[in-house]
Structure 1
Amino acid sequence: MTTLSQNHSASTSQTLKIVVAHANIETREVLEDALRELGHSCLAIVTRGCDLIAMCQDQMQVPDVIVSGLKLDDMDGVDALVECNEVAQQQFPAIIVTPKTDLSEVEHALQDHVMAYLIEPVCKEELKPTIHLVIQRFREFQELKDQVKDLKQALNDRKLVERAKGILMRRNQLSEEDAYRRLQKLASSKRQRLAEIALGIVTADEAFD
């Protein structure tokens, strides 16, 4: 079976196998309906983190994307995603669905394993661009992993790259994808790793500010 972690060229125009994990039935139904309208397959709908973890461990049911609530019936949603990555020994593109009151907690998680979020109540129209965003960020993370051997280093590098993208977006009015392409171009021309280019941009920005 081909997953996004194995096939980096996959796009949101393809049918994706998506797991929805959320404790609230209304939110689950909104997400399921929206995914079907987009042409994606709901691989499973679960309410407990332990079920999500077991599914990720099963090589016959590995999802392309996970959409999880911040709180599940038996554990924290971010903790469940982290454990999924550990037991499956691979990373999954993950979207967290959260109340606005818990947004600061999710924004902190964005620095590590979570790559995008949706605010409750979920708007169907926001799901498609969010899936696109999480897949784009996942590809970027896979590229960073290819440049280093250590997962922890790749996560730290991702934090630098996200900060550098934000600086380029702010200073040059670029989209997130264009900011990342500029980083790639600089890394290629300077023959440096993406993280090294990102560090230079972050350091320069701090100096000017």
Structure 2
Amino acid sequence: MNTSQPLSLPGLRVLLADAGQRRSPVIRLELIRLRCQLVDVIDLVAQPDALGPALDRLAPELLLIDCDQPAPGMLAQLGEALERQPRPVLLVAEQMAPQQMRAALQSGVSTLQLAGLPPQRLGALLQLALARFEHDQTLQRELRQAQTQLAERKLVERARGILMREQGLDEEAAFQRLRQLAMDGGQTLAAVAARLIDADQLLRPR
């Protein structure tokens, strides 16, 4: 049984970027009904270069884009801004070719909605964008952690090889020696291994 609670929308700081402000009045009314906080509305037609600076300046918790179809320049701005500060993005478009969908997702868009935005579905779509962003951030953290652990494991293996070569130890004895050095110095195995590798490179004849 799923007991997870829905992500909260009241008080959510939303930046709306609308192509020509065609539907912004309807979206504003629905955001008010959902008790979200609309921090600003950007007209992507009148201000095509305003999206990136607005994201940096206003720091919304979610970006809602409503357009006919995503322009390459807009997606480039978006990708640069999200690289600086990731955040959930809901992109609503009348139409999108497959390559535009791929470009949007690569730029950091959390959720895509085609063929317009039914106001009654806005709350569910905002929830979906928040959940998808949270899921993606968790996956990225886990990937970074796995990469760090792999890099640290490689350092320990290299350091163990140095001890085996220089002190005539077997694998287990070399590993225990590294552990003892780490405990004595109050450091991690990886930190001790890195120091040992650096020392070996300095002392090795060139």
What TM-score results when the alignment is normalised by the length of structure 1? 0.57
For the residue of structure 2 that corresponds to 1:39, the secondary structure is: coil
Post-superposition offset of 1:139: 0.7
1:12 Cα deviation from its structure 2 partner: 2.7
How far does residue 103 in structure 1 lie from its aligned partner after superposition? 5.0
Give percent identity, aligned residues only.
Answer: 17
Query: 2: CA distance between counterparts of 1:107 and 1:73?
Result: 9
Question: What secondary structure, in the 3-state scheme, does the structure 1 residue paired with 2:22 have?
Answer: helix
Structure 2 letter corresponding to 1:68: I
| 1:138-187 C-alpha deviation (Å, 9 max, x unpaired) | 1111111212339xx9xxxxxxxxxxxxxxxxxxxxxxxxxxxxxxxxxx
Work out which of the residue numbers 59, 62, 86 in structure 2 matches 1:62.
Answer: 59
Does the CA contact (< 8 Å) of 1:78 and 1:109 recur in 2? yes
Question: Tell me, what secondary structure is at the counterpart of 1:137?
Answer: helix
Alpha-carbon distance change, 28 to 77 in structure 1, aligned in 2, over 3 angstroms? farther
Residue 45 (str. 1) matches residue 41 (str. 2):
yes
Aligned residues: 138
Check whether the contact 2:91–2:111 (CA below 8 A) recurs between aligned residues.
Answer: yes
- Which residue, out of 1, 7, 10, partners 1:11? 7
What RMSD, in angstroms, separates the aligned Cα atoms of the two structures? 2.9
Gaps of 5+ in 1: 1-8, 154-209
Deviation at 1:72, TM superposition (A): 8.9
Distance 1:32 1:105, change over 3 A: farther
Q: Is the 8 A contact 2:61 2:87 kept in 1?
A: yes
Q: Residues 88-110 of structure 1, C-alpha deviation per residue, up to 9 Å, x if partnerless?
A: x221100111013x253453245
For structure 2, the 5+ residue unaligned runs are 148-206
